[in-house]
Structure 1
């Protein structure tokens, strides 16, 4: 029954998204007829007669309901429609792109499994022998902190541009598959490896493991038991990683010029080619939904009634001194850059373009002669400021939905399968490009885990023993909500939202990198990285500086998160 509810919720959300895309001509600020006219007939004057002819050809003059009915009837027949821009069948564009994306995603999943197995096998052996499994140290943590678009940019810089080991662009042979697969799979492998090692550490502390060792079971038998006990709670996480790979296809395929669904969807959103955009998003989101349902079914089959016994909170790992050292090493350079950016100018100086580091410009200058370090500090305010705004929006939405668990749980489960890049494309078509659109897009996909947490906190607050006594003494429902339930939910939820701030900042940066967020001339980190990639060989620091800043920010927050647990351990 739970799987059926999840399937229905996903189908309802997907139908709503496809309907919203169909209504974009009436919701968006831009007229799609003008965009299609310029694409089909370059140089033709946009007169009222020409625009009316385009609207009639697209069926826009019949109204939104007729357009939605025609699109739904076509999809029911298996007809994906005709491209508004090229006039060719959508299937001729989408199906080859689907095959390419599935190839890249399959290779990325292979990278995820390879990284997870390589990082987990030593921990599994130690756990079976009765030694601490550990978390994997800086290697696993560093991989987990790398977003896909950042790995793609670094791959182009190091392995393609500097070392020349692999091709940077195109998709004509197996060698072109390596960099996209690594970019899409390394981060997910790091996350899954960290979660697996944490789960093994928790399971290894259970009584049955000691009993098996005392009874003389072989290490191989104990290792199989540990895996069977630890894997079911991790399977839903693998679904989230599969969804992240689906979303990463947009950025990675754009960076490496891979003709897949992600690149086709981004081009369709930019051209307002709604039939192609609908088909691409339906397939991308459908892949994520399918992964989620399969993972839930596998977890239910493997775990059975024992799944609920798995601890939900990771064990305390590391030391307080190590966490403080990591925070100092990663946060201090960022604070210096912000201070430097506030006192220095990032003005254009074309006479000093792409200069090497000097005493006047510590990290050199970019393609317009602007100080790279000053722009880096100013970009921190853009990126983190937008992330804070998205965090506040997500928090408020999750807090409201937390008191309606029957609505929050299915919506959160379905919306959790929407990558931020897809939300960004929809927001751009609706609102246009800009940092405010990036904030809305990141908030739209960041609230589900917060809403699930808020629902759990609200349910726990309602079952408190002293609550019945207060109600018996005459306390009203609104008084209980304001003075009892809300304080128990709002505080822990705010802490949880703060922990997700780095991920939201990376989401804002990814949209800026794709051109879906901040403008190309803004100092926002993602936009700065995208703008500097063509000049890697002449001014590498202009691209590496925002990349290093994003990594340092994520590592600093991860170290700060581990600090309270390390303090409790000591």
Structure 2
């Protein structure tokens, strides 16, 4: 008996299912109502206890609460950045791959240039022009983040454009827009979704790095990269202030990467 259509897109390996389950737990934790910004200077740098399982930070704020609240911003903002990058890159890559010509050549040259520029450099330049904040952070990540999707979409579109069902649609009089976004998109969406999971880790690390430099979320907003910067002066007296957000960043990046690998194997088969 075949599985329902909704379940067919889920990873079939144990590692993929564990990764998916862990990501869902993290997202559920992000929805918990917690107080992550109220200061309690009488309880600053407190060790772990039943009331504060991970202890408190230099302002007496519960570290676990800030870690959970930071999940909303760090993971949610990364998902937004990946989604925007995926849409822009996919549309540009598919149109260039199908239409070809000088526009496609220009797109590939732009992609080659932007791939060589780290998101941190773009963030520093934008911060010098604009004010540091979430909008600047999103712009810095998207400016460099759409290029891998454009390159992959371009290659996949070239492959799909020669398939029988696309040639049949053209013979029946379908226009370029219908061919690209109805017929070709159907064949490239799965590889692009799996690639999005793999790009998630790089995007999360870029956002955490830019926030660590003060270019992202501003205090007292809890964000994992900003929490790393706040905890750095207390690395030896209270190492949990650095270890907790660092483990969160690396753990989520690893889990989503494993999920992406599982989806690649699942859909490749």
> Given the alignment of the two structures, is residue 520 of structure 1 paired with residue 229 of structure 2, yes or no?
no
Aligned to 1:343: 33
The whole-number CA distance in structure 2 between the counterparts of 1:538 and 1:332 is 33
The whole-number CA distance in structure 2 between the counterparts of 1:554 and 1:440 is 21
Aligned to 2:105: 406
What are the within-5 Å matches in structure 2 for residues 184-203 of structure 1? none
1:560 paired residue among 211, 234, 259: 259
Aligned to 1:484: 183
Once the two structures are TM-superposed, the CA of residue 408 in structure 1 deviates from its matched residue by: 2.3
1:370 paired residue among 61, 67, 74: 61
2:82–2:203 CA contact under 8 A, matched in 1: yes
1:383–1:524 CA contact under 8 A, matched in 2: yes
Aligned to 2:87: 396
* 452 and 569 in structure 1: CA distance in 2 versus 1, 3 angstrom threshold: closer
2:54–2:62 CA contact under 8 A, matched in 1: yes
**Is the deviation greater in 430-439 or in 484-493?**
484-493
* 543 and 397 in structure 1: CA distance in 2 versus 1, 3 angstrom threshold: same
1:128-165 Cα distance to aligned partner (Å, 9 max, x none): xxxxxxxxxxxxxxxxxxxxxxxxxxxxxxxxxxxxxx
1:334–1:549 CA contact under 8 A, matched in 2: no
Once the two structures are TM-superposed, the CA of residue 551 in structure 1 deviates from its matched residue by: 1.3
Once the two structures are TM-superposed, the CA of residue 567 in structure 1 deviates from its matched residue by: 6.1
1:387–1:505 CA contact under 8 A, matched in 2: yes
> Given the alignment of the two structures, is residue 543 of structure 1 paired with residue 234 of structure 2, yes or no?
no
* 495 and 560 in structure 1: CA distance in 2 versus 1, 3 angstrom threshold: closer
Once the two structures are TM-superposed, the CA of residue 324 in structure 1 deviates from its matched residue by: 4.3
2:197–2:257 CA contact under 8 A, matched in 1: no
* 378 and 461 in structure 1: CA distance in 2 versus 1, 3 angstrom threshold: same
Once the two structures are TM-superposed, the CA of residue 400 in structure 1 deviates from its matched residue by: 2.8
Aligned to 2:144: 445
The whole-number CA distance in structure 2 between the counterparts of 1:416 and 1:553 is 24
The whole-number CA distance in structure 2 between the counterparts of 1:530 and 1:474 is 58
Structure possessing the higher relative contact order (Cα contacts under 8 Å, 6 or more residues apart): 2
The whole-number CA distance in structure 1 between the counterparts of 2:19 and 2:185 is 35
Once the two structures are TM-superposed, the CA of residue 321 in structure 1 deviates from its matched residue by: 3.4
The whole-number CA distance in structure 2 between the counterparts of 1:515 and 1:374 is 21
Alignment RMSD: 2.6
* 336 and 465 in structure 1: CA distance in 2 versus 1, 3 angstrom threshold: closer
Once the two structures are TM-superposed, the CA of residue 414 in structure 1 deviates from its matched residue by: 1.2
The whole-number CA distance in structure 2 between the counterparts of 1:568 and 1:470 is 25
The whole-number CA distance in structure 2 between the counterparts of 1:566 and 1:496 is 12
Aligned to 1:426: 125
What are the within-5 Å matches in structure 2 for residues 308-387 of structure 1? 320-325=13-18, 331=23, 334=26, 337-338=29-30, 342-346=32-36, 347-387=38-78
* 529 and 520 in structure 1: CA distance in 2 versus 1, 3 angstrom threshold: same
1:401–1:407 CA contact under 8 A, matched in 2: no
The whole-number CA distance in structure 2 between the counterparts of 1:544 and 1:333 is 20
Q: Which has the larger radius of gyration?
A: 1
* 367 and 546 in structure 1: CA distance in 2 versus 1, 3 angstrom threshold: same
Query: Equivalent residue of 1:374, what SS?
Result: helix
The whole-number CA distance in structure 1 between the counterparts of 2:133 and 2:41 is 26
Query: Equivalent residue of 2:45, what SS?
Result: coil
> Given the alignment of the two structures, is residue 458 of structure 1 paired with residue 157 of structure 2, yes or no?
yes
What are the within-5 Å matches in structure 2 for residues 33-48 of structure 1? none
Aligned to 2:3: none
1:417 paired residue among 108, 112, 116: 116
**Is the deviation greater in 467-476 or in 410-419?**
467-476
Aligned to 2:9: none
Taking structure 1 as the reference length, the TM-score comes to 0.41
1:350–1:368 CA contact under 8 A, matched in 2: yes
Once the two structures are TM-superposed, the CA of residue 496 in structure 1 deviates from its matched residue by: 1.9
Query: Equivalent residue of 1:432, what SS?
Result: coil
1:220-247 Cα distance to aligned partner (Å, 9 max, x none): xxxxxxxxxxxxxxxxxxxxxxxxxxxx
Unaligned runs of 5+ in 1: 1-318
Query: Equivalent residue of 1:343, what SS?
Result: coil
2:67–2:222 CA contact under 8 A, matched in 1: yes
The whole-number CA distance in structure 2 between the counterparts of 1:542 and 1:362 is 13
What are the within-5 Å matches in structure 2 for residues 97-496 of structure 1? 320-325=13-18, 331=23, 334=26, 337-338=29-30, 342-346=32-36, 347-402=38-93, 403-404=95-96, 405-496=104-195
The size of the alignment, in residue pairs, is 249
* 359 and 527 in structure 1: CA distance in 2 versus 1, 3 angstrom threshold: same
1:238-263 Cα distance to aligned partner (Å, 9 max, x none): xxxxxxxxxxxxxxxxxxxxxxxxxx
